[in-house]
Structure 1
């Protein structure tokens, strides 16, 4: 090891150690398959919320050890790694990183992240071998003038399916990049609490719907059990009023709320009797 290299490593360890001590959350991420051209854009998106940095895995581990970071966090570092330092909670940090992805071309055998559709239109390709390639991907094509046209939209791979080799080849030729790649946070440490990716990866829409359902269930329980709170009280009182009024009307019990309806009912009965008396008299 040269003197220059040793100095760089020591300075790098001190830099990362300082960052770890200055932030409440430290997360490690896997860089496998992460596009290098996305690194800069992700750092920009994280500006003000987190610091993303790459270094040699052993240097990162040494720096985290010096900072007193839980050994489990370091153990989650596999292969090429990055480390994030932040003062936002781990769930928010994970969500920000999760939403930052890049699109790349598909390879044969890749699993479609969603339905992949090739739209109808002019391909710009000249007739020839390309015509057979497009047909092998299941496309309805036709030569129109000097180029090949796709006559109708076609779903060439459904979500969760492996992408066939002919389809992958055609997607590449049409410059359709269906595969989403992002930085994969393996785990994050906040204080003494370690969160793994499986815990951090929350579907926000599903979670929101769960809260809505739970709130509705709690409201229904409160109304049916007669538990009074800001939301249930108006409904419970309204229900009690309607039930009491129904009993009063049934028993002809006169109150300010029932007198009009009871008298109207009495009038209808009287008119009915009156009509029968006239018929009998005739």
Structure 2
């Protein structure tokens, strides 16, 4: 166990201050109830992109309070927190942390965020006490050969309901990990600006879709209003060319652009006229 003596605290304080000076983005994350194994996975995935630092809360708060503009985020460093030092955009960092969640077992009393179901199939469990346990969780089971089989899919806990002891035990036996947990970024400091979680938590796909829709709307408005800009100029010139050519053809104006179309039209009209004119035999003189 690490001895948190004065020397250790001073070393930790200096370490945090050095990281503050090195990275432009500082985030504070809540790691309460976050398994150590999953924490190491996040740390590994962020390797090369960010440094995740965990220390005594008082040490972290002191370092943040005493260094540059970081005092503003010191109050967000509460018990069981981690500090993330990075160059990533705050929204990118938040989305990355949010996406990288791990699966954990169901605990008795935990509220299901979505339906928890158990699929039909061979459990690999031998007949015995497990048979009663699975039935207690509401599963339809039977002994098939040397193991217990679940005969049909079953939702054992609906979204919003608490996990019962019987269900928690059954899910553990079946090695089903229905809950997802992750680090919770509380706030991110960029320069003098602090972004809280409710600001950072955006649906990137929806935002992208909204941007695309806004771009299409703006383009259509500019095009229909004949507003020339880098986005519309090419199509506006093409439309102007087509309109000018159509006007010239309608007015029988002969030029290098309309000549081909006018000659084709004249030829077509000549053929149409000739089809309605009978051949006239001119008598020869002296006949």
Range moving further from structure 2, 259-268 or 148-157: 259-268
1:272/1:21 Cα in 2 relative to 1: closer, same or farther (>3 Å)? closer
Find the residue that maps to 1:188 and give its secondary structure: strand
Q: In the TM superposition, what is the alpha-carbon distance from 1:173 to its structure 2 partner? A: 2.1
Give the aligned partner of residue 55 of structure 1. Answer: 55
Give the aligned partner of residue 209 of structure 1. Answer: 209
Over the residues paired in the alignment, what is the CA RMSD in angstroms?
A: 3.3
Give the Cα separation in 2 of the matches to 1:142 and 1:275. Answer: 89
Q: In the TM superposition, what is the alpha-carbon distance from 1:175 to its structure 2 partner? A: 0.7
Give the aligned partner of residue 281 of structure 2. Answer: none
1:236/1:72 Cα in 2 relative to 1: closer, same or farther (>3 Å)? same
Give the aligned partner of residue 26 of structure 1. Answer: 26
Give the Cα separation in 2 of the matches to 1:273 and 1:226. Answer: 42
Q: What CA deviation, in whole Å up to 9, does each residue of 1:159-208 have, x standing for no partner?
A: x5435425444322211112111111211212211111222233332232
Q: How does 1:160-171 map to 2 (within 5 A)?
A: 161-162=160-161, 164-165=163-164, 166-171=166-171
Q: What are the ranges of 5 or more consecutive residues in structure 2 without an aligned counterpart?
A: 279-287
Q: In the TM superposition, what is the alpha-carbon distance from 1:64 to its structure 2 partner? A: 1.5
Give the aligned partner of residue 229 of structure 1. Answer: 229
Range moving further from structure 2, 268-277 or 21-30: 268-277
Give the Cα separation in 2 of the matches to 1:131 and 1:85. Answer: 50
Q: How does 1:63-212 map to 2 (within 5 A)?
A: 63-107=63-107, 108-112=109-113, 116-127=116-127, 130-131=130-131, 133-135=133-135, 137=137, 139-154=139-154, 156=156, 161-162=160-161, 164-165=163-164, 166-212=166-212
Find the residue that maps to 1:76 and give its secondary structure: coil
Greater Cα radius of gyration, structure 1 or 2: 2
Range moving further from structure 2, 248-257 or 81-90: 248-257
Find the residue that maps to 2:19 and give its secondary structure: helix
Q: What are the ranges of 5 or more consecutive residues in structure 1 without an aligned counterpart?
A: none
Find the residue that maps to 2:5 and give its secondary structure: helix
Q: In the TM superposition, what is the alpha-carbon distance from 1:95 to its structure 2 partner? A: 3.1
Give the Cα separation in 2 of the matches to 1:180 and 1:20. Answer: 31
Q: In the TM superposition, what is the alpha-carbon distance from 1:139 to its structure 2 partner? A: 4.4
1:272/1:148 Cα in 2 relative to 1: closer, same or farther (>3 Å)? farther
Give the Cα separation in 1 of the matches to 2:26 and 2:264. Answer: 75
Find the residue that maps to 1:189 and give its secondary structure: strand
Higher relative helix content: 1
User: What TM-score, normalized to structure 1?
Assistant: 0.78
> Do 2:106 and 2:163's aligned partners in 1 also have CA atoms closer than 8 Å?
no
Give the aligned partner of residue 284 of structure 2. Answer: none
